[in-house]
Structure 1
Amino acid sequence: MSRDFYEVLGVSRDADEDAIKQAYRKKAAEYHPDVSDDPDAEEKFKQVKKAKEVLTDEDARSAYDRMGHEQYEQAEKRGYDASQGGQDPFGGMGGMGGGGQGSPFDDIFEQFFGGGGGGGRGRGGPRPGRDLRTGLTVDLEDAYFGTAKEMTVTRPEHCPDCDGHGHPEDAEAQTCPACEGRGQQVRVQQTPLGRVQQTTTCPQCEGEGTIYSETCDTCDGEGLVMEESTLTVDVPEGIRDGQTLRMEAEGAPGEPGARDGDLLVEISVESDERFERDGDDLYVTHPVSFPQAVFGDELEVETLDGTVSMDLPRGTQSGETFRLRNKGMPRLQRRGQGDLFVRVQVVTPEQMNDEQRDALEAFAEAGGEDIDVKEGFFEKIKNSL
């Protein structure tokens, strides 16, 4: 059983977005399946990621706080998407076929002036499908070259037994008594600014103006059932961590005659042990020997697209950084690439043969250094660098 999202991240319920993101980074590093020894690391990592997604989305967090953990998860399983705006799907609005508890697939939480929230039907028209969200993890090389990834999603589909209508074909149609067939209800409220007239979609017939004598047993009148689907996601070159891809018409289906929603895929780019990424630029550390740093050399530097040659100038100091232009990440939907920054790290030898020791001793004496070679020379060389 999943846990409360605030508890998963270890933050208070009034934590701001920065605190939530900081807690997420810490927990994600702890439970990442590639580094954690915890047998439940993969599941914990998924919970941490889900908690961050919900609590850093203003609409989703508001819905989560209002509904509570269990009811929010139940709503999501039925296709509810808080980021589209809306009240919880168990808010008591009538279901298809007349009366009863509200449909979890409904666009509810009506706006102050007018009909339902995002994705709601127009006057007398079929309701379009809502957008759905999911996540996909790729590695840095996938983000560099671009890739096609298969993923499995569980999403609403039109009920195969009623073709999404929510009732048997031979069910008797009746004019909705709540709205007298108009599909809408008018409510007048007295406010400090005066009388306000609000037109809303009829909750009993869901704007159709018609109710039916029977509902479909397979979908309980919803017109939708949850099905598992395998999709191919085209990940473009240069995608960044946290960016979202839109797959048109792969979200929740609309009512018959209306467009389907889209599937929004948030991309997570895994960290790479070789390279650090900053936007479109990459950073890599390259070890060199003391003689290479003194005399200069031609280095073979690793990039994500093979090795390239780089001239190391004489007298290079440990920690110096060199720029290799256009060797970083491709620029998403733009021409060119970022740069690769090469940090040079001079490696101090831990063991030497007699010939190497004599040479370094001569080097020290030539420089006028009066030191104890056996006990302190290498430490002093290391400190001087």
Structure 2
Amino acid sequence: MRDYYEILNVSKDSSQDEIKSSFRKLAKKYHPDLNPDNKESEQRFKEINEAYEVLGDPEKRRRYDTYGHAGVNGQGGYSQDFGGFDDIFDDIFDIFGGGFGRNSSKARRQGPVKGANLRYNLNLEFKEAVFGVEKEIKIRKSEPCKTCDGTGVKPGSSKETCNKCNGTGELRYTQQTPFGKFVRTATCDKCNGTGEIIKEKCTTCSGTGKETKNKKIKVKVPAGVDTGSIISIRGEGEAGERGGPSGDLYVYINVKEHSIFKRDGNDIYYTIPISFVEAALGTEIDIPTLEGTTKYTIPEGTQTGTQFRLKNMGVPNVRGIGRGDLYFKIKVEVPERLTERQKELLIEFAKESGEDITKSKKGFFSKMKDAFGN
């Protein structure tokens, strides 16, 4: 499958405006209605449409940049009706008043329009993200007016056909040129392209067909999410236009840091201190895990920096497949103050080990002099 940036002739660091501009040019060039019976142009237009469906949406673009085509599987699309290009074809003339065939500007403007998407930032505690949780959030959004069922018309009244555009939703301006008669279309300024006039507006929504309300929504957060994870809830965005579906709600996850655990992917890391005696002789200690504490035997002679692994005790995979590991690193703590008796015992220990402390120091400094040539 071709790269979407390559299809739209843009680079990966292009702005949304640059992507839109390139899309407009390519869509005009390869639109099937301007290239009748040209299978190559139709195929090219399909690719352009699919690429812009993803790169033209900042959220889909982010997922595509992160996961490639797999991250937006099913998100790009192609419509035989070539819908959604009002901003592209508003400035194209209908030659000899012919229009663009199967998808007229009237159909585009009067057709249902999906509502805008909404974003909600959700903060989670570390363990809530690890094990999953259900949260109730409150958002403010528009919904179809219940009084008028989203029509904007006062109950008992009805809409009337616009007498300026005769219900077409558009006005046509004819221009005679040496090449023939050209007809330019524009949205009717009286009915705003709907082709209908509301004489008596709904008193609840003032004719908009929408009500803005506070709504509580339960969000099921799966186990294993992390900062940057996104949960989409279909149909919980803003209300659509002219009977169109509501937009979607995107919940962006932010996970608070833990006082002990550090997460890297699905693995957990932390450092645990033990005493010099415990490291030398070995010991059994309580170590923290995501589920609580557990016993672990530290072997004798363990050095600072030694890392141990507990398999399958990390973070569950967000797709429910497997689980990460838990790693803890040993830090041997050396006492800062010693009693005279403790010092005597350590000196005896050194002698018993055959270790000459003074000689060791002299040997080290001698190596330093050799290394630096002094």
Same fold (TM over 0.5): yes
1:131 maps to what in 2? 117
**Paired residues of 1:113 and 1:199 also in contact (CA < 8 A):** no
Distance 2:285 2:185 in 1: 72
Counterpart of 1:358 in 2: which secondary structure?
helix
2:289 maps to what in 1? 303
Counterpart of 1:318 in 2: which secondary structure?
coil
Q: Provide Cα deviations, 1:52-89, integer angstroms capped at 9, x if missing partner.
A: xxxxx9659x9xxxxxxxxxxxxxxxxxxx9589xxxx
* Structure 1 residue 171, shift from structure 2 partner: 4.1
Aligned letter for 2:275?
S
- Confirm whether residue 370 of structure 1 aligns to residue 358 of structure 2: yes
* Structure 1 residue 239, shift from structure 2 partner: 0.5
1:155 maps to what in 2? 141
Aligned length: 270
Q: 2:224 aligns with which of 228, 238, 243?
A: 238
Instruction: Give percent identity, aligned residues only.
Output: 36
Distance 1:280 1:181 in 2: 59
1:140 maps to what in 2? 126
Change in Cα spacing, 1:274 to 1:179, as seen in structure 2 (3 Å) is farther
Q: 1:111 aligns with which of 82, 87, 99?
A: 87
1:275 maps to what in 2? 261
Gaps of at least 5 residues in structure 2 are: 1-12, 20-56, 61-83, 92-106, 176-181, 360-374
Distance 1:287 1:198 in 2: 78
**Paired residues of 1:138 and 1:270 also in contact (CA < 8 A):** yes
2:278 maps to what in 1? 292
Change in Cα spacing, 1:220 to 1:341, as seen in structure 2 (3 Å) is same
Structure 1 runs, 4 residues or longer, greater than 6 Å off: 185-189, 196-201
**Paired residues of 2:111 and 2:242 also in contact (CA < 8 A):** no
Distance 2:186 2:311 in 1: 58
Distance 2:213 2:263 in 1: 38
- Confirm whether residue 348 of structure 1 aligns to residue 324 of structure 2: no
Counterpart of 2:358 in 1: which secondary structure?
coil
Distance 1:59 1:227 in 2: 31
Distance 2:290 2:155 in 1: 59
- Confirm whether residue 335 of structure 1 aligns to residue 344 of structure 2: no
* Structure 1 residue 201, shift from structure 2 partner: 6.6
**Paired residues of 2:152 and 2:202 also in contact (CA < 8 A):** yes
**Paired residues of 2:145 and 2:209 also in contact (CA < 8 A):** yes
**Paired residues of 1:182 and 1:209 also in contact (CA < 8 A):** yes
Change in Cα spacing, 1:347 to 1:248, as seen in structure 2 (3 Å) is same
**Paired residues of 1:112 and 1:198 also in contact (CA < 8 A):** no
**Paired residues of 2:155 and 2:202 also in contact (CA < 8 A):** no
2:33 maps to what in 1? none
Gaps of at least 5 residues in structure 1 are: 1-17, 19-56, 63-81, 86-107, 116-120, 190-195, 372-385
Aligned letter for 2:316?
P
Aligned letter for 2:224?
G
**Paired residues of 2:267 and 2:327 also in contact (CA < 8 A):** yes
Distance 1:217 1:327 in 2: 59
Change in Cα spacing, 1:360 to 1:244, as seen in structure 2 (3 Å) is same
Aligned letter for 2:280?
V
Distance 1:187 1:355 in 2: 105
Change in Cα spacing, 1:316 to 1:125, as seen in structure 2 (3 Å) is same
2:9 maps to what in 1? none
Aligned letter for 2:356?
G
- Confirm whether residue 320 of structure 1 aligns to residue 301 of structure 2: no
Aligned letter for 2:279?
A
Equivalent residues in 2 for 1:206-217, closer than 5 Å:
206-217=192-203
Distance 1:161 1:336 in 2: 50
Change in Cα spacing, 1:215 to 1:362, as seen in structure 2 (3 Å) is same
Counterpart of 2:357 in 1: which secondary structure?
coil
